[in-house]
Chain A
Amino acid sequence: MNNPEEKEITFVMPFGPQHPASGHFNAMITCAGENVVDLKAYPGYLHRGFEKLMEYRTHVQNTMLSDRVCILDPFSNEMAYVHAAEISSGVEAPERAKYIRAIMAELGRILSHLTWIGIMSSALGLESGAKIAWGDREKIIRLNEVITGGRLYPCYFMPGGVRDDITGDMAGEISRVLDTLEDKGKLYDDFVFFNTTFTTRTNGIGVINAEDAVALGATGPTLRATGMGSDVRKDEPYDAYPCVDLEIVTMEKGDAYSRSMVRRGEIAASISLIRQLLQKMPAGDFKVKWPMTKKVPPGETYFCCEAARGELCFHMVSDGTDKPYRVKIRGPSFSLALAVFPYLSRGVQIADIPAIYWSLDPCPADMDR
């Protein structure tokens, strides 16, 4: 049909905040026909004000709150909080606790990436990939339950160590789950990463170069997919990371496919890390004494760790009491969803929006806090 009277219609379309589309996150997309002219992000559906709530609670109570900042990656948030508290008070965790924390943080990374495979596949219409990934995710969740007592919110890291030891057959159980995941690698490749639907819908989509990514505050797999080998675990190693051989996965193209392949590589890298950590884990204490109302001397700390989504930092100001004076959380998703996502969306086809959004793997809980 060739009608000269017909003009291109501009309209505004919502993306989210219904959960299956975007998580609890809303974006308003201005479209001209199929093309995205502009995208505005509207977060806030999960704003709970944790940073303020932490000012009313002691450090031990706050570890429990820090979990809830991002349900998909709880160990990283605990890691950053307990380190900030420990550095503020000059306490160092015992060697064994450092290894246990690193093991759990890496399990958390695999957990988060498996969840992401599920959501990303689902967003692209590959439901089988979603089912397989979420099935395997359950294996790690059960492992969490065995080791920490909690499935999704472990509350396991404490200032001064961890709450409980890894004992009995727990290490064996971890190894068995890792073996299963490793065996499944081929299955994921067939169903997801080298599946034609997946490759055609992500290849060359949402391309960002290293310079723009840095300027907008991108970190983690998004930045590593542009060829930058930036990783807090390597740049400012904490806990047991200095003692193990860490592989940083990078890709060159900076598109949605590269970001996906970085996460694919990171699952394998984390499996190898956990094996090394289990092998080298020393015997001994798993925590030092940290009273419930321990007073922390005045001062301030900025501690960063590498979460599954990128650089996660806690800025903690203490005033000499048992509660922090101020806590500021720098979540990796904040920059990814509110700066990088609108930037990548301008000028693309509307059907590419879910692929771009989920290739960044933002966590709305983490961006709102």
Chain B
Amino acid sequence: MTHGAEPSRVVDRTLHALAEALGADGAALMLIDDHDRPRAVGGSDADGRRLELAQERTGSGPSIESLARDADVAVNDLYAERPSGFPGVAAQTRRVRAVLSVPLHADDRVIGSLDFYDRVSHEWQPATVRAGRRLAELMVMVLEALAHKSPFSGQS
């Protein structure tokens, strides 16, 4: 496998491009692993990675909720009290405020969720949420291509 095609680099560059396409500060990824557990895969920057790790640790957050409900979850301010915010997650991520989490589907199955985030709180407009959903489809295409073209079968 060439250096440029290393899965983590491909995912990193895709997250950067998707965040740029939506006009968000960053994008981050939570995926269901081969034991059906949500895993914090990472983000386009350190804040994104912290956001996913905080959700994996606490078992709560927009991404976890998006996975559980198979629906978009738009959080205007992570610091807001429940149910509109996730202060427990916010305390661990510090700089992330607004989060849009959209489920990722492959072959009619939820395989994870894609988070877009901004460092200032704001309302997510319906057009942005729709765009986020379509961008999630591009993320799935990249993941499918990686899954089928990479020799993971022998690893466990």
B partners with A: no
State the B residues within 8 Å of A (CB).
Answer: none
